[in-house]
C-alpha cells in the first residue's frame, strides 16, 4: 500500500542528517558502515563528489564470530553487540562470556564453547581491519588524500560497535567521529544513534523540497514533445542539487 515518492542517493540523505554545512563545504568523507555494505563518499564544495561501495559490513563480523566458535548466528550477534569491540585490552583474557540463547530462546548447554572476550575481539578486529583497509583504498580512489585535517565521519549501524571510530582513526591517520542524526527535536533517544542517520536524513530531504532524480523520467512519451526545454532544465537542476 506504499508508493515510492522519490529516489535519493543514500549518502545525500545521510549527509543531511549527520554532516554540518561547513564539513560538506570544506571537505569530508562519510563512511556508512551498514549491515551488508559499506558506502564511502566524499563531499566537497557542499556537494557529493564521489561514492564507492564495499560489499562488506557489520553482518560479516557476525558471520565470522558464528563460524569461529561454532555457535548460532543469533548468539554471535548478541556477543558482538554486548561484548564485541574493535579495541583490545589485557583484561579481556580474564573475562569469559555468556553465549546466551539461540534464536528459539534455547540456552546454550554444557557443551557450549568457552569464549573469552579476548578471543571474541580477536575475530572482530580481524574483520574490522579487512574492512578499514578497503575503506582506505576507496578514499584513495576518490582522491581523498589531501590534508590530514579533513575529517572522516563514521555512521550506520556498524558505527555502534565499541571502538570502531578509534580503530579506524588509528588505521587511517585521520580524525574520525561518529555521525549521529541531528536536526529533529522530537526524535526518540532509541532512534538517535548512527544506525538511524539515513532515515532521519530522508526526513530532512523530504522537508527541503529538493528535485527528485527520477522526476524527469516519469513523464509519458506524449507529454515530452512540447516540454523538452523544461525537462532538460529540471534534470540539470536535479544533478546540481544532488551531486
**Which string of b and e fits 68-104 if b means at least 16 CB within 10 Å?**
bbebbebbbbbbbeebbbbbbeeebeeeebebbeeee
Q: Could you tell me which residue, 227 or 107, shows the higher pLDDT?
A: 107
Question: Quick one: 132 and 220 in the same domain?
Answer: no
What sign does the CA torsion over 87, 89, 93, 99 have? negative
Average pLDDT, integer, range 191-220: 76
Indicate if 43 and 113 belong to the same structural domain: yes
* Residue 4: inside a domain: no
Same domain, 161 and 224: no
- Which range of 63-67, 170-174, 216-220, 237-241 scores highest in mean pLDDT? It is 63-67
Most confident of 119-123, 202-206, 235-239: 119-123
Question: Using CA atoms, how far apart are residues 203 and 207, in angstroms rounded to an integer?
Answer: 6
Q: Are residues 48 and 146 in the same domain?
A: yes
Kindly state the greatest CA–CA separation across the chain: 76
Is there a single domain that holds both residue 225 and residue 121?
no
Q: What confidence tens digit (pLDDT) does each residue in 137-188 have?
A: 999 999 997 656 689 999 999 999 999 999 999 999 999 999 999 988 888 8
Does residue 150 sit within a domain?
A: yes
The Cα–Cα gap between 117 and 141 comes to 36
Q: Note the pLDDT of residue 155.
A: 98
User: Residue 139 — φ and ψ, nearest 5°?
Assistant: -65, -40
**Residues 73 and 27 reside in one and the same domain:** yes
Residue 139 lies in a domain: yes
- Hey, which residues does 44 pair with through a beta bridge? 47
Nearest to 33 by CA among 131, 142, 167, 124: 131
**Confidence at residue 223, expressed as pLDDT on a 0 to 100 scale:** 43
Residue 23 lies in a domain: yes
What pLDDT digit, counting tens, does each position of 45-79 carry? 999 999 999 999 999 999 999 999 999 999 999 99
1 part of a folded domain: no
The larger pLDDT score, comparing residue 117 to residue 8, is at: 117
Domain shared by 195 and 238, yes or no: no
Q: What is the per-residue pLDDT for 222?
A: 39
User: In degrees rounded to 5, what are phi and psi of residue 113?
Assistant: -65, 150
Please indicate, yes or no, whether residues 217 and 204 belong to a single structural domain of this protein: no
Residues 103 and 222 in one domain: no
Q: Tell me: pLDDT of 215 over 60.
A: no
Alpha helices per DSSP H over 147-227: 164-172, 197-208, 221-224
Q: In this structure, are 97 and 142 located in the same domain?
A: yes
Mean of pLDDT values over 89-94? 92
- Given a cut of 50, whether residue 115 has pLDDT beyond it is yes
Q: What is the pLDDT of residue 239?
A: 60
- 151-155, strands of its sheet edge to edge: 47-54, 38-44, 28-33, 151-155, 176-178
Q: How many domains does the chain have?
A: 2
Range of the domain at 222: 213-243
Tens digits of residue pLDDT in 10-56:
999 999 999 999 999 999 999 999 999 999 999 999 999 999 999 99
* Average pLDDT of the residues of the chain: 86
239 and 145 belong to one structural domain? no
Residues 6+ apart with CB under 8 A from 112: 71, 99
The CATH number assigned to the domain holding 47 equals: 3.30.420.40
Q: Say yes or no: 198 and 227 in one domain.
A: no
Amino acid at each position: 500500500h506504499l508508493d515510492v515518492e522519490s529516489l535519493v542517493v543514500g549518502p545525500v540523505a545521510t549527509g543531511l542528517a549527520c554532516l554540518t554545512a561547513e564539513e560538506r563545504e570544506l571537505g569530508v568523507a562519510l563512511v556508512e558502515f551498514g549491515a551488508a555494505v559499506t558506502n564511502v563518499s566524499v563531499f566537497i564544495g557542499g556537494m557529493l563528489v564521489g561514492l564507492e561501495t564495499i560489499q562488506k559490513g557489520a553482518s560479516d563480523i557476525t558471520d565470522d564470530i558464528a563460524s569461529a566458535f561454532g555457535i548460532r548466528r543469533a548468539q554471535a550477534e548478541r556477543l558482538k553487540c554486548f561484548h564485541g569491540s574493535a579495541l583490545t585490552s589485557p583484561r579481556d583474557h580474564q573475562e569469559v562470556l555468556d553465549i546466551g540463547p539461540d534464536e528459539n530462546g534455547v540456552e546454550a548447554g554444557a557443551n557450549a564453547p568457552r569464549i573469552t572476550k579476548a578471543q571474541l575481539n580477536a575475530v572482530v578486529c580481524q574483520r574490522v581491519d579487512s574492512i578499514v583497509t578497503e575503506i582506505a583504498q576507496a578514499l584513495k580512489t576518490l582522491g581523498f588524500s589531501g590534508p590530514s585535517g579533513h575529517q572522516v565521519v563514521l555512521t550506520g549501524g556498524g558505527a555502534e560497535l565499541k571502538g570502531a571510530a578509534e580503530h579506524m582513526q588509528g588505521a587511517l591517520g585521520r580524525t574520525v567521529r561518529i555521525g549521529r542524526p541531528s536536526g529533529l527535536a522530537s526524535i526518540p533517544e532509541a532512534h538517535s544513534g548512527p544506525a538511524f542517520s539515513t532515515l532521519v536524513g530522508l526526513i530532512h530531504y523530504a522537508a527541503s523540497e529538493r528535485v527528485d532524480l527520477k522526476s524527469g523520467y516519469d513523464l509519458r512519451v506524449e507529454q515530452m514533445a512540447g516540454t523538452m526545454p523544461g525537462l532538460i532544465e529540471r534534470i540539470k537542476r536535479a544533478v546540481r542539487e544532488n551531486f
